[in-house]
Amino acid sequence: MQAALSGQAALVTGGSRGIGAAIAKRLAADGAAVALTYARSPDRADAVVRDITQAGGRAVALRADSADPAAVREAVDEAARQFGRLDILVNNAGIGVIKPIAEFALEDFDRTVAINVRAVFVAAQAAARHMTEGGRIITIGSVNADRMPFVGGAVYAMSKAAVAGLTRGLARDLGPRGITVNNVQPGPVDTELNPAEGEFAESLKRLMALPRYAHADEIAAMVAYLASPAAGFVTGASLTIDGGFAA
């Protein structure tokens, strides 16, 4: 049987670890050639590429700080150049600065917006120039766009709510070209930056219908669905995968 994404090419921003690495590996397993960006971890990015190639896939790591719009555009163009096409963009790179508003530095605000919002726009704009009918733009947002149950997350929640709005607008802009645009909103996910053990994690689990953190592979599975032909009629959507965090 032919893999669902055979012959396609994807770019995953922030693909050297955590959710991004899981997405890169899943898209490769489904047949796509995958480029992934990293900002400061070449060894980790190379390890993801090695895992993909050893499993029979094709992958390349590209250095690009998502805070730098020129670097984001160059990464998109380089992925398309190396693979001869670009069918799938996954905007995964993001940061989360959690501080009470009285302590929130303007520099942290600006960097949050630059990475979590501006980079999504820049990458989508650049990728759309390479995409044809059937293209997919998928952004990793957050359930915190809809629910922020703890102190210090105002700016993070704002950035993810902005992504949800941008997704709806881009879906309208690109729909006539047959390109879908969607937003995946995870709840708590077990990663190095937000491990499933510890006092903070236990407080979040008490808010969930399923009292556990997600695995990165579960988020990757939803992304893989949106990237696949099966999701050809899904666009402009924010799909929540949060274990009932927002229920």
Q: C-alpha angle 225/140/38, rounded to 5°?
A: 110
Q: Which domains does the chain have, with CATH numbers?
A: 9-241 (3.40.50.720)
Neighbouring-strand partners of residue 241? 186
Look-up of token digits 């899943």: 26
Rounded to 10 deg, the angle between the 154-174 and 119-128 helix axes is 20
Q: How far apart are CA 148 and CA 150, in angstroms?
A: 6
Is residue 5 a contact partner of residue 227, using CB atoms and an 8 Å limit?
yes
How would you list the strands of the sheet with 59-63, edge to edge?
A: 59-63, 33-38, 9-12, 88-91, 136-140, 180-186, 238-241
Cα radius of gyration rounded to whole Å, the chain: 17
Helical (H) or strand (E) element with 208? none
Selecting among 38, 156, 213, 225, the annotated active-site residue is 156
Provide φ and ψ at 122, rounded to 5°: -60, -45
Of 24, 92, 17, 79, residue with least CA distance to 55: 24
156 a catalytic residue: yes
pLDDT tens, the chain, 247 aa long: 679 999 999 999 999 999 999 999 999 999 999 999 999 989 999 999 999 999 999 999 999 999 999 999 999 999 999 999 999 999 999 999 999 999 999 999 999 999 999 999 999 999 999 999 999 999 999 999 999 999 999 999 999 999 999 999 999 999 999 999 999 999 999 998 889 997 889 999 999 999 999 999 999 999 999 999 999 999 999 999 999 999 9
What is this structure's pTM? 0.97
Is residue 238 a contact partner of residue 185, using CB atoms and an 8 Å limit?
yes
Of 64, 53, 56, 54, residue with least CA distance to 89: 64
